[in-house]
Amino acid sequence: MADEERRPKKKGNIVVWTILGLLILALGGFGVGQFGGTLSTVAQVGEREVTVQDYANAIRAEQRRLQQQTGQALTIQQMQQFGLDQQVMERLLSLAALEEEARSLGVSVGDAEVAQRIRSNPAFGGISGEFDREGYTFALRQIGLSERRFEQRVRAEAAAELLQAAVIGGLAVPEAHTDAIVDWLAETRDVTFAEVGRGTLDGISRAPTEEALAAFFTENAAAFEIPETRSLTYVWVTPTLILDEVEVPEAAIVARYEELGEEFRQPERVLAERLIFRDRAAADAAVAAIESGETDFDALVEERGLTLVDVDMGDVARDDLDAQVADALFGLEEPGLAGPVETSLGPALFRVNAILDATEVPLDEVRDDIRANLARDAARRQIDAAREEIDDLLAGGATLEELAQETDMELGTVALRPGASGGIVDYEAFREAALAAEEGDFPELLDLSDGGLFALRLDAVEPPRTPELDEVRVRVEQAWRDDDDARRLAEAAEALAARIEAGASFEEVGLAPETLDGIARDGVVEGLPRALLTDVFEAEQGDVIARRGNPRTAYVLRVDAVNTPDPADARTAELIAAVEQQIRAQMANDLYGAFAEAVRADIGFTVDQQAVQAVQSQLFGAGGQ
């Protein structure tokens, strides 16, 4: 048995792990098999042992935590791949080191504290929620611990918490540090800005010379690259393609209409709310108070600590209710109160908010929809019935062209490249198969999401290429004009900004300004580029900024005021408290993590890799998903 000296690779979140350790021991092991045999421990820190059951429980707890966060259950192998099993071991070693340090310092808690912690643990609560002595014994048996052993663990963990409090109890967050962060987060700006439009350029885009166009194309060749193009031949059939060929008898339409009768026929219904009372006297008193004007239904609901959502019954038909309740609710000629009525839950007062008449949709109004649905179902069955024949033809060496001649499948070709759409290209299954296909592959019959079938053949692959200028001349000319317009607008905006910074007003330089006050650092201003707002918070008060927008717009903006947060403002006070709490938690984690790491290094520890592997093997073999 080889013991290996180990050192932590990461600082664990010791504060969180101290709390999590209790849950692991109290809850983590339920459903975990016992680990017997000659192996009893996976690690030792000083005199503190980490048992195989401790490690198994911790692994299981980590699996459940990850499943709750991600919705996926990781296997032991996946945990190993991501190093999660190592993280679990690091946490156990850190916790053991702190418990051992507390023991060596003589830090401990009394029996009363241990008893209180055990009694307050929800894992040991009975049906009433109170501590269940038999449940306590059973729970410990399930995780392979004796009462004595478990109570020792609780005492050790409580002592480690005392040690934690001593280490981090005196932490103070520097006020200057908090103020600097809050000032940065809550600072706002007041600005004046204006849009510089194409009117500045006389509204006319310039035409490029041949030399300028060629140079622009060379500099921006990547923007005009033709991506890989896959030329494909395919055959396909879908319910929609053969829908018109499907005959649907009138009798089938009528039968489906009757089958779906509840969708087309609605009985009389009411929208109602129900308030239950403890006895008939209380219900009668409530009705009397409503009739006298002392209260109303809404107030009664609120007095009971309920909301209207809690008492809402939705829309109900007579058949949904007991006969006595139905008579009371459907006996009303208009919305109002009904009751008290005796129910299985006690006397109840009902409020009917609306009476909905019975409705019926005639067959003629839905005949076309029913026929279309029946035809689509029949088309799917027809396609499914033809699957074997098509497969046999492909297996016999039939080409896609021959399939189109001998079956209902249609032949087509497509040049597939990024951004292509329409027809069969809109099906994800086709795109995936087309991208995976290689020249010379034998066509395979595959499914489409709507019940259709297809097969394809890759005819050629044209790799990405830079086209000749003449192939994309129109696109290049438009891109050149857009770039030229945007560049000239930016130059005009910069010239105007320089005049404003020199003392001219926005109006004097021919701009129509707008003002915005209190722009937040993470704010969004409709119509202004996000990059311009970023510049605003890098500028000082009085700075004037020019920013290129799109080919039709540029902007000039002046920072009128830099507003620091008011410490007396309630929102600022909340932010200060939140920042202080976060900084304190980070400092506590770092300090306590460093302390735990130093303690572990001083005490020394060993990890039995053979025992670790045995636990992981048993968990995996037992379906440790």
Residue showing tokens 């070709």: 413
Q: Which residues have CB under 8 Å from 513's CB, separation 6+?
A: 192, 193, 194, 506, 507
Above 60 in pLDDT, residue 29?
no
- Segment 267-279 shows an average pLDDT of 82
231 bridge partner residues: 415, 460
Above 80 in pLDDT, residue 74?
no
- Segment 458-466 shows an average pLDDT of 89
Is 275 in contact with 297 (CB distance < 8 Å)? Answer: yes
Alpha-carbon span 387 to 577, nearest angstrom: 68
Question: Residue 619: what pLDDT?
Answer: 67
Above 60 in pLDDT, residue 482?
yes
Burial category of 340 from C-beta neighbours within 10 Å (exposed 0-12, middle 13-18, buried 19 and up): buried
User: CB 353: neighbour CB atoms within 10 A?
Assistant: 15
Q: Provide the pLDDT confidence category of residue 231 given band limits of 50, 70 and 90.
A: very high
Contacts made by residues 511-516, CB under 8 angstroms, sequence distance 24+:
511/194, 511/195, 511/196, 511/556, 512/194, 512/195, 513/192, 513/193, 513/194, 514/192, 514/193, 514/194, 515/190, 515/191, 515/192, 515/560, 516/190, 516/191, 516/192, 516/193
Question: Residue 38: what pLDDT?
Answer: 54
Question: Residue 234: what pLDDT?
Answer: 94
- Which contiguous run of DSSP H or E holds residue 89? helix 84-105
Alpha-carbon span 613 to 60, nearest angstrom: 15
User: Which residue has better confidence, 497 or 164?
Assistant: 497
Q: What is the pLDDT of residues 123-176, one digit of tens each?
A: 776 666 677 777 777 777 766 667 777 777 777 777 777 766 776 666 677 778
Cα separations (Å) of 285 from 295, 346, 347, 474, 606?
11, 15, 12, 84, 74
Q: What is the DSSP string of 181-197?
A: HHHHHH-EEEEEEEEEE
Q: What is the pLDDT of residues 93-111, one digit of tens each?
A: 878 877 777 777 777 777 7
Alpha-carbon span 220 to 476, nearest angstrom: 9
C-alpha torsion sign, points 578, 582, 584, 588: positive
Alpha helices in 187-249 (DSSP H): 210-219
**Ramachandran assignment for 570, one of left (phi > 0), alpha (psi -120 to 50 degrees), beta (any other):** alpha
Q: What is the pLDDT of residues 575-624, one digit of tens each?
A: 888 887 787 777 777 777 777 778 777 778 888 888 788 777 776 554 44
Q: What is the pLDDT of residues 518-540, one digit of tens each?
A: 888 877 777 777 778 888 888 88
Q: What is the pLDDT of residues 547-564, one digit of tens each?
A: 887 778 888 889 989 888
* List of domains in the chain: 3-170+585-621 (1.10.4030), 188-206+473-563 (3.10.50), 229-246+364-462 (3.10.50), 268-357 (3.10.50.40)
User: CB 47: neighbour CB atoms within 10 A?
Assistant: 11
Above 70 in pLDDT, residue 36?
no
Alpha-carbon span 121 to 36, nearest angstrom: 27
Burial 299-336 (b: 16+ CB within 10 A, else e): ebbeeeeeeeeebebeebeeeebeeebbebbbeeeeee
User: CB 267: neighbour CB atoms within 10 A?
Assistant: 15
Q: What is the pLDDT of residues 233-258, one digit of tens each?
A: 999 998 888 877 778 778 887 787 77
Which structure tokens are listed for 554?
Answer: 């540029």
Question: Residue 301: what pLDDT?
Answer: 80
For the chain, the average pLDDT equals: 79
Q: Cα Rg for the chain, rounded, in angstroms?
A: 38
Question: Residue 283: what pLDDT?
Answer: 84
Q: Provide the pLDDT confidence category of residue 39 given band limits of 50, 70 and 90.
A: low
Q: Which of 26-40, 125-139, 266-280, 483-497 is modeled with the greatest confidence?
A: 483-497
Residue 548, classed as helix, strand or coil, is strand
Question: Residue 129: what pLDDT?
Answer: 63
- What percent of the chain lies above the pLDDT cut of 70? 88
- Greatest pairwise CA separation for the chain in angstroms: 97
Q: What are the start-end ranges of the E strands in 127-226?
A: 188-197
Above 50 in pLDDT, residue 114?
yes
